[in-house]
Chains A and B, each alone.
Chain A
């Protein structure tokens, strides 16, 4: 069965520290993977997708098929990065399968 696992409910770091939000997936085919972010009092929005291999707001994520992971990384966290982060997988239909989310808190 397709599944997305985000093992950490909460990740707390100080400003300037590196950040890694973990995401593992279970899928038998070739997945498409995404990271969505929800800032306080705002709606969920797309942060990045693996297929475009881009860096958004300093965040990157590399698809590791061997480890079935798609961890989100940023070398130097900023306070404005504090938000809920959701990893999602597309099974090549039109629906997304979401993980339970990780709350990132960046302290000054």
Chain B
């Protein structure tokens, strides 16, 4: 299994540009989520999904959209990039039927908005 994969690893955007961060998992996990990680702060939840066709907002959803057309993929779209969105983004997945709490994280995408 490849686990959770994310692309790209690094991205630089100009203010106002849009882009999509890709996330895929091959573990047939129902639950997928996007977090951002900023210096001195814990991971903050942006959006999450409990299955194909179902998404919901997390703690910091403004400026981001998600969709879940398949179990495997959960892309994150930045509609109009702002410097405040400079961060490291992590995608994670877990099984809702699991007996423990483990989330599997991808390697992250480092985004800089100038």
B is bound to A: no
Q: Which residues of A contact B (CB under 8 A)?
A: none
